[in-house]
Structure 1
């Protein structure tokens, strides 16, 4: 049976403890284990430990934190959900070895604004710093760590990819949840050149269902479909995955709206991102979202639909995490 996977999943509302239930139809997920505003390595480690404890305490089905390829294989044999821990931002003077020791495998250098490593998506013309290069070298030395460019600025992403090539690093690269700038020019989306280079390096591009970065107007699955189609044309279908950036929990509308307003106040107080409610098409929320996503793109991906909604991402992690 084909596996289903998500390159940016939430098991609960963002900011709330994760809860994995047996009705969630997912085999592997990359999750954010600490908030992007955690200011120090010690705070990140503390938040990550809380996340792991909650993950196991609240799960009513088997869960495996995957740090090696063998963990993914064993999770499948045990009918367990494989969870890969990631961060969407780094604190200053980060200790990469400590993060790896805590089981954190996937790292973004910057979330939205400028930090000591470069910049996130809100500063398209800010690039990679010397401190950022040092972090990339440290990640490469740890083996099995993966760089995520989903939130990088355009210049940052280009310079990171150039540095990895010129420094001959063997660091796997992905974009866990990003739209295609060529379809909709929101600053959170990456240009074709970057998407293509990630794919050429053996990486994957996760397309989100987050409406406000995919297109104008009300919720519409055709925005998502347009990005899937474009990513396949630019990168090849074997490099395209789902990075929904949404929850697998059943949430009522009142709770969802309240959570949206809270997160918008915290992350986008000036309205720069253009966030709007509902964030995701309703059909793409809940425990069976990947089934609905598969049905929505079957006419685009055809017999390869199962690879986009699972196998491509699972295979990427199987070859990127060390045995």
Structure 2
């Protein structure tokens, strides 16, 4: 069955590819598709483009192992050739500044989905850790342009009001690429049941992340990830839950960054060094856990990749 991890993080240091060989962890442990983050939050347009250039150059120099994703056909071709299919994602509208035409450029470069906001307010709308005033006119125009060029919109890290308004306003289904249910653990980064229902009602998918802080108890075990997956499946159906582990390959880098930026990652919300996270190497254990809890093979195939593929087939322009 197709296995698709919708969010992974390499160090965002242009021309530093020292961790890139770790992408093979995903493939070695059975993953077929990975979405690799190229920027977040306050990162500039230049920073996003420099990371895209860095990652694309490294990947295209290794055609036997990797295939860049531009369309659904690339995913099928990569599986047939024994390659890991790699696409890109962006966390927040700061990546486009005030220039909507950058969305098509990013899509041409392989960006498959993009957030509206990352924790804090921006030109498009509100962040989940800020005073969310709702989706702006620019945010609505952004959703229209994303739909036009075939890029999936994402509401992870986005504030409640903005996410709710975006789900209603978007011409295409939106996703929560890496967000967990707030009913199981109270945290601003997690999402309440009514947002999960609204996303599913429009055909979207909620990707469960493997970050212990958002799973509860700093427990990133496959069993705890499975608990969140099954909660969403029971709430809105098996067709609306997937995987977006948010695994960070440079653990030292994230520990330093979180400690150095308490304004963006407040310690009182649990941020800090030592956050546990589920590794892509544990995906087989997650699959076994879900099967042990009664998930049938067809349901497992939907969760591990089929649901992301369905949204891609609907939104991407092939």
Structures share fold, TM-score greater than 0.5:
yes
Deviation at 1:67, TM superposition (A): 1.6
In structure 1, how many angstroms separate the alpha carbons of the residues matched to 2:221 and 2:229? 14
Q: Which residue does 1:184 correspond to in 2? A: 185
Cα distance change of structure 1 residues 30 and 124 upon mapping to structure 2, 3 Å threshold = farther
**Corresponding residue of 2:135:** 128
Query: 1:105: Cα distance to partner?
Result: 2.2
Name the residue aligned to 1:27.
Answer: 32
Q: Which runs of 4+ in 1 moved over 6 A?
A: none
- Superposition pairs of residues 166-181 of structure 1, within 5 angstroms: 169=171, 171-181=172-182
Out of 51, 63, 66, the residue aligned to residue 55 of structure 2 is 51
Q: 217-226 or 181-190, which moves further after superposition? A: 217-226
Partner of residue 312, structure 1 = 307
2:276 aligns with 280
Counterpart in the other structure of 2:291: 298
**SS of equivalent to 2:181:** coil
- Give, in angstroms, the shift of residue 290 of structure 1: 1.4
Q: CA deviation at 1:278?
A: 4.0
Task: Give the SS at the match of 1:31.
Answer: strand
Residue 241 (structure 2) aligns with? 240
TM superposition shift of 1:301: 5.0
TM-score, normalising length: structure 1? 0.84
The CA deviation at 1:111 is 0.6
Do the aligned residues in 1 keep the contact of 2:223 with 2:286 (CA within 8 Å)? no
Report the Cα offset of residue 93 of structure 1: 0.7
Aligned residue number for residue 86 of structure 2: 83
SS of alignment partner, residue 267 of structure 2:
coil
Can you give the 5+ residue segments of structure 2 that lack an aligned partner in the other structure? none
User: What is the TM-score normalised by the length of structure 2?
Assistant: 0.85
Offset of residue 311 of structure 1: 2.5
Offset of 1:132 from its aligned partner?
Answer: 0.8
Q: What is the correspondence of 1:1-323 to structure 2 with a 5 Å cutoff? A: 2-10=1-9, 12=10, 17=17, 18-19=20-21, 20-21=23-24, 23-40=28-45, 42-57=46-61, 62-91=65-94, 92-94=97-99, 95-123=102-130, 125-142=132-149, 144-164=150-170, 169=171, 171-216=172-217, 220-247=221-248, 256=251, 258-268=252-262, 270-276=266-272, 278-280=274-276, 284-286=278-280, 288-300=281-293, 302-303=295-296, 304-323=299-318
SS of aligned partner of 1:185: coil
RMSD: 2.5
Distance 1:56 1:67 in 2: 13
Q: C-alpha offsets along residues 216-273 of structure 1, whole Å, 9 cap, x if unaligned?
A: 35555544233112111112112111111115x6xxxxx73x3342131355453254
Alpha-carbon distance, 1:174 to partner = 1.0
The alignment covers a number of residue pairs equal to: 303
